[in-house]
Amino acid sequence: MTTDSDDLPSASVPELPSEGLVLLDVREPDEWAAGHAPEALHVPLGELPSRTGELADLPDDRPVHVICRSGGRSARAAAWLNAAGVVDAVNVEGGMKAWQGHGRPMVTDRADAPPEVI
């Protein structure tokens, strides 16, 4: 895990554990439906402040890795979560594009197409 100039913890996809990963996806509903990590929790960035209660059930002994399409929205979400003291959040560098590029598992909510990152 690395820390950028703003002291935001971040991790690349290859650094993420293959088991026991707590993953929060902050993309929009259409992006989520197209393709997401099987065990991820979905809370769109704009809804995050009003839905922090849902994060209370996440394991508190592991960081919450926050992911979006490419890393920008997840960086904002992770910074906010850390500053607000909600969870110990880590930004996933490269987002779902990197996740897919490294062959990590993905599922889709659509019956007519394979999972993809949009």
**Residue 30 belongs to a domain:** yes
Give the mean model confidence (pLDDT) for residues 24-53: 97
CATH number at residue 28: 3.40.250.10
| pTM summary value | 0.93
CB distance 76 to 4 below 8 Å: no
CB distance 110 to 90 below 8 Å: no
In the set 8, 68, 81, 89, the catalytic residue is 68
How many folded domains does the chain comprise? 1
Give the mean model confidence (pLDDT) for residues 26-37: 98
Q: What percent of the chain has pLDDT over 70?
A: 95
**Residue 109 belongs to a domain:** no
**Residue 49 belongs to a domain:** yes
pLDDT the model gives residue 3: 47
Look up 35 and say whether it is catalytic: no
